[in-house]
Structure 1
């Protein structure tokens, strides 16, 4: 399973979904899906925009987690 750390990154910077949407140009719905970890796909341009906004690497935003644990 892929875990998305967007909620943690947003919390650290005290950003709301609308703040991230405005800063990245991404649709609020996409950000909400990632925030709630219910997204089933994401565009590479969206990953790039989020990594640039949070000044992080892809591995800081997403993590592969073992489902058996």
Structure 2
């Protein structure tokens, strides 16, 4: 019972959610890195680097806008 109370107090602290999301992001990166070997090398879709850069720029700009007006 004490453990549950302590865990609830811990979860309510301000740093808890960003720490958990950071760990999830790290696990996602690791999973993507290790699963790349499982994908076939001759995929029919070839996305150029410039398209990826454009998409990432759009996402970053949108996130900056949301953060500014939030």
Q: TM-score range by the shorter chain?
A: under 0.3
Name the TM-score, length of structure 2 as normaliser: 0.21
- Structure ID, larger Rg: 2
Relative contact order (C-alpha < 8 Å, sep 6+): which is higher? 1
Name the TM-score, length of structure 1 as normaliser: 0.21
More helix by share: 2
